[in-house]
């Protein structure tokens, strides 16, 4: 068990005990009204998330752009959404500098066919309420870092579950590769999955 997991668990138990004692009128704390009024708001936010998520089940594909010169399309490699999922196929897209984020929604990225620059490339993905899935082609050398506050991690064959987890791993040929990518994927409430196809 990581020390951070122990302390987070201890703090949650302590807060839960204080709230339970306050609800039983055994202990009174000055912020009781904040928590009494906060929980309905949290339930409303979760309800809105579920409604918008089901209403936006249709894929939010980020369209390619073209300079009309006959060259292959260059895909957009940055996007941020408050509500809705992001699904991106990275074919002919520059992976370096790729950055996708959502507040209420899932991120699904397939890096197959993506273009790497020589040396180090970086791609970042983040969500607050949602899962992140990144598919990495077999020939791509990757260093991957994943984190989830409340959720599971499955990163290139390694797994972790529980509260406040993170995993770091890399492919076997990463250190000697001429072109490689650093992937960072983090979510607060959701799962992170990075795997090779």
- Using one digit for the tens of pLDDT, what is the confidence trace for 2-27? 454 555 566 666 766 766 676 676 76
Q: How far apart are CA 125 and CA 86, in angstroms?
A: 10
Q: Write the DSSP symbol of residue 30.
A: T
Tell me the two tokens of residue 170: 């890399």
Q: Are 134 and 172 in contact (CB under 8 A)?
A: no
Q: How far apart are CA 120 and CA 108, in angstroms?
A: 22
Collect contacts of 42-48 with beta carbons under 8 A, ≥24 apart: 48/104
pTM greater than the 0.95 cutoff: no
Which residue ranges of the chain lie beneath pLDDT 50? 1-2, 4, 54-74
Tell me the two tokens of residue 143: 């260093």
Tell me the two tokens of residue 64: 């390619």
């Amino acid at each position: 068990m990581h020390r951070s997991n122990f302390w987070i668990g201890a703090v949650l138990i302590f807060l839960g005990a204080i709230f339970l004692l306050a609800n039983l009128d055994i202990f009174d704390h000055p912020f009781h009204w904040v928590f009494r009024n906060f929980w309905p708001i949290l339930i409303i936010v979760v309800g809105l998330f579920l409604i918008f998520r089901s209403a936006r089940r249709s894929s939010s594909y980020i369209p390619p752009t073209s300079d009309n010169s006959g060259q292959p399309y260059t895909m957009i490699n940055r996007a941020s959404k408050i509500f809705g999922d992001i699904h991106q196929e990275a074919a002919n897209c520059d992976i370096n500098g790729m950055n996708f984020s959502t507040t209420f929604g899932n991120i699904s990225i397939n890096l197959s066919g993506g273009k790497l620059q020589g040396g180090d490339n970086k791609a970042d993905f983040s969500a607050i309420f949602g899962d992140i899935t990144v598919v990495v082609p077999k020939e791509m050398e990757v260093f991957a870092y994943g984190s989830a506050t409340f959720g599971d991690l499955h990163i290139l064959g390694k797994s972790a579950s529980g509260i406040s987890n993170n995993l770091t791993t890399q492919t076997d040929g990463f250190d000697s590769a001429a072109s490689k990518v650093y992937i960072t994927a983090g979510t607060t409430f959701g799962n992170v999955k990075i795997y090779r196809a």
